[in-house]
Amino acid sequence: MKQAYLQAIRSLTFRELPIPEPGPGEVVVRIHTALTCGTDLKTYRRGHAKLPVPGPLGHEASGTVAAVGEGVEGFQPGDAVMWVPTAPCDACPACAKGLYNHCQHLFDGIALGAYADYLLLPAKVVRRHLFRKPDHLSFAEAALLEPLACIVRGWRRLGGAESVVIIGVGAIGLLHAAVAKALGCPSVTVVGGRESGLRLAEALGADRVIQGHLPGAAEALPKGFDAPEAVIECTGQADVWALAPALVRPGGRALLFGGLTGDAQVSFSARRIHYDEVTLLGSFHFTPADVAEAYRLLTQENLGLGRIITGVRPLAELQQVFDDLEQGRGVKYALIPEGGR
């Protein structure tokens, strides 16, 4: 089997490996569709705190069961499935407090390497986070389960809102817009620079779009108590983080969702935080409850998330796809291994 492997920063290759054999509780899946992700692109460009370099790449995927290990129940070869790549251990102090997304062993045995023909799913992932893919859901949309679970986590932190401004029209911003409408948010505004991204946001249900970048685009937003209840930052830019709290009404909330580099420092207005009681929120990864809700949204709601898939490319073109994404050509690509449909 072929597997994409990041040898060093910006050094991507494919290696030949034997098809894995499942141990007790494990499942081997044949990858049907793997999706590109901003996390993978960032890892390729500069590394990542949670993902090893050198190491395999890819963690958003769907496929069919190729083999099951001893003790696996509910799945058999040929089943169409979807999954997320991590699961909590249920035994550490964080898990004991219900902080499953802060599990001390969350990334031990992560199902990493979905840019490949086959992938081995660890027993804890099979036990908690492997699901059947319904026939009506495409493999590409099914592969969105992991990023959608992260979005659901963000909204659980936010606690809902009567009005929200989403900053950024990449895949994460677009997913936030779709989830906002699915959860019944009455007023969803999306701010971004790319017209194509804004059109996608409208197709996913955004009530208003504003083309431009902060701080200039903020002039088109209402002020004072007419300002939105919440803002969601999805650009991963420190200067946008710093501006986000200024966009909400007194008592509002700013969800700082886009990740920054580990050494980034951001300053906020003390007046906004103290006198206006603006709450700053972070969001990391997901819990099993978030995954379950993401699965429900994907399989029971007509979110139309296939719209954010820019195109379908052979897995062998992964390097070219990364180049396209770096140049702003596309939002998210579906990669099909050789011999895949």
Structure confidence by residue, pLDDT tens digits, 179-218: 999 999 999 999 999 999 999 999 999 999 999 999 999 9
Tokens 């009455």 identify what position? 186
Distance from the Cα of residue 318 to its chain's centroid: 19
Mean per-residue pLDDT of the chain: 95
Number of H helices, E strands in the chain: 11, 16
Angle of CA points 186, 189, 195, to nearest 5°:
140
CATH fold, domain 151-282, is Rossmann fold (3.40.50)
Rounded to two decimals, the pTM is 0.95
86 confidence band (pLDDT: 50, 70, 90) = very high
Q: How far is CA 105 from CA 113, 260, 270, 298, in A?
A: 19, 23, 36, 27
Domain locations in the chain as residue ranges = 2-143+310-336, 151-282
Two structure tokens written together for 131: 């699901």
Strands 2-8 and 55-56: antiparallel
Amino acid making up residue 309: I
Q: pLDDT by residue (tens digit) across 257-298? A: 998 877 889 999 999 999 999 999 999 999 999 999 999 999
CATH 2.40.30.10 fits 2-143+310-336, yes or no: no
| Tokens linked to 53 | 């370099």
Identify the band that residue 339 occupies on the pLDDT scale cut at 50, 70 and 90: low
**Closest among 109, 94, 105, 171 to 325, alpha carbons compared:** 171
Whether the per-residue pLDDT at 8 is higher than 80: the answer is yes
pLDDT band at 111 (very low <50, low <70, confident <90, very high): very high
Least confident of 47-56, 235-244, 321-330: 47-56
DSSP letter (8 states) at residue 167? E
The one-letter amino acid code at 26 reads E
